[in-house]
Structure 1
């Protein structure tokens, strides 16, 4: 299968590199990283020790069997426009943080759009080099729930490459659960400059739990069955499993880049039917930092 990874940053390069063990993979990314992969291959370190040699370029090719979208949420509309120039993409799978990405892609593209989540931990440590901070799984399926042949084909492609993959019929519930996890961990660790495990202890635990509970309430208002303590348990479980990891939002803040807070805590604020003061405050604090400090570069 020919798989295109659009947004070959840390996560996209890691997943694309693992897929390249079995499939034809094209990484679409930014210049310096693309040049390094072309010259010396893609080096994966940490929990995975591997060098692969996928094609690397700055624009998508004419066609693919599957496109993985791994850009930051604020770049999804630009990604959709770029992918719209392809002749055929087979199916498009969003492996992004936040909510609303699948709707943006589906509105612009004629191919099936799938939703996905993953708990792989990735950090780009240099051009052409990505560190795997934790091997995880990929869960994917139609964003509205149910089953589809496109999801079955995509799941099979991951499994053929040795990646633990589940094709799920309950993606709405899984997406909201992931949102609760990200709402509790990402902005708290980014603002405090601490590793993920710090949200399990006070003084940060109460804030992270509050964000998760508010996300569950917004999910319920959207018709998704997610209890507040279920959301807290999911958030704390991920924080425990990734205790020593640096969240993606903290990486963005430390690098002076814009964050995905609008698609995470900001999405909760937009969709909630009742006050969500914790998410509103976190979104405002990160947004205020971005307005004053974040540079123009986006990964």
Structure 2
């Protein structure tokens, strides 16, 4: 079958390879003609994984390409979800299948309200990859991916995903997994952006550890009030373990700020703070982080 991918960053390109290896036709929908011209004309994607190299070939499109879209993976930044979908909405076929594979929360419900006739899934992954150039991808880990439907009467998996050569967990209720990813992101991403440091540096000083501890306590309070069980151990311990395991990494939020790009703070800490307000829970540390990262990031922050 034919899968379109909206968002040709590292994760979008990684799934282009996964879907192509499973025998599906893949089209990457690039932002504009300028981005299209930065790719090889044959749509070649070069992948390095476990010190081995292979190539995947994708069709390349822009939003205004007149090709119907029946199966769509959205891997844009979370804040670009609605505008990116609006740009291709006229191409969506009735009862199209759409999968959101992004950080953060909030955009899923917004999309459900905007598009009434689609079948929608959302997924969260621990897969890791980075782009050396537009079409040169390094796969660090295939990780594990949890996916579940957000629309009623949809199957656990979208069409063709049962053939993907990855560790895939279909979930009747995906919300707890989204919250767990959100919780880790809240505990790590804004702090690396605040302190301008790699992930591992968050657990190297008592000051940073204490800030992480306070963030985690607030997140746990909000999650518990929302009826979400996070992890068997305290969030602080899980977040510290992730920071240690990814010690040399720069978080995507820190990279966005260093490059003068808008960050996903609204869909991560911003979402948490909104939930806290609705539940009547004070989260002063996370509110302070939200304001600090807003001040560091360009763009108008509205939800």
TM (norm. structure 1) is 0.86
**Aligned mates of 1:55, 1:187 — CA distance in 2:** 36
Pair 1:257-2:261 in alignment? yes
Deviations, residues 256-295 of structure 1 (Å, cap 9, x unaligned): 10100011111111110211122111111110011xxx38
Structure with a larger share of its residues in strand: 2
**Aligned mates of 1:38, 1:212 — CA distance in 2:** 47
**Does the residue aligned with 1:131 lie in a helix, a strand or coil?**
strand
Shift of residue 54, structure 1, vs aligned partner: 0.8
CA contact (8 A) 1:196 1:243 kept: yes
Bigger Rg, structure 1 or 2:
2
Residues 17 and 209 of structure 1: CA distance in aligned 2, closer, same or farther (over 3 Å)? farther
**Aligned mates of 2:239, 2:184 — CA distance in 1:** 4
Residues 295 and 256 of structure 1: CA distance in aligned 2, closer, same or farther (over 3 Å)? farther
Residues 162 and 282 of structure 1: CA distance in aligned 2, closer, same or farther (over 3 Å)? same
**Aligned mates of 1:229, 1:213 — CA distance in 2:** 12
CA contact (8 A) 1:197 1:240 kept: yes
Residue of structure 1 aligned with 2:217, choices 213, 220, 224: 213
CA contact (8 A) 1:183 1:208 kept: no
Shift of residue 40, structure 1, vs aligned partner: 5.5
TM (norm. structure 2) is 0.85
Q: Give structure 1 regions of 4+ aligned residues with deviation exceeding 6 angstroms.
A: none
**Aligned mates of 1:61, 1:171 — CA distance in 2:** 33
Matches within 5 A, 1:146-165: 149-154=154-159, 157-165=160-168
What is residue 43 of structure 1 aligned with on the other side?
46
Shift of residue 97, structure 1, vs aligned partner: 0.8
**Does the residue aligned with 2:41 lie in a helix, a strand or coil?**
helix
Is 270-279 or 225-234 further displaced after alignment?
Answer: 225-234
Pair 1:9-2:9 in alignment? yes
CA contact (8 A) 1:27 1:56 kept: yes
Pair 1:239-2:240 in alignment? no
Shift of residue 132, structure 1, vs aligned partner: 2.4
Is 174-183 or 33-42 further displaced after alignment?
Answer: 33-42
**Aligned mates of 2:217, 2:40 — CA distance in 1:** 42
CA contact (8 A) 1:38 1:55 kept: no
Residue of structure 2 aligned with 1:280, choices 287, 290, 301: 287
In the alignment of these two chains, the number of paired residues is: 289
Shift of residue 81, structure 1, vs aligned partner: 1.3
Pair 1:175-2:178 in alignment? yes
Shift of residue 38, structure 1, vs aligned partner: 3.4
What is residue 275 of structure 2 aligned with on the other side?
271
Is 80-89 or 161-170 further displaced after alignment?
Answer: 80-89
Shift of residue 106, structure 1, vs aligned partner: 1.0
What is residue 169 of structure 2 aligned with on the other side?
166
**Does the residue aligned with 1:38 lie in a helix, a strand or coil?**
coil
Deviations, residues 201-258 of structure 1 (Å, cap 9, x unaligned): 3232222232233222222222323369543343234323322222111221121101
CA contact (8 A) 2:104 2:264 kept: yes
CA contact (8 A) 2:124 2:147 kept: yes
Q: CA RMSD in A?
A: 2.5
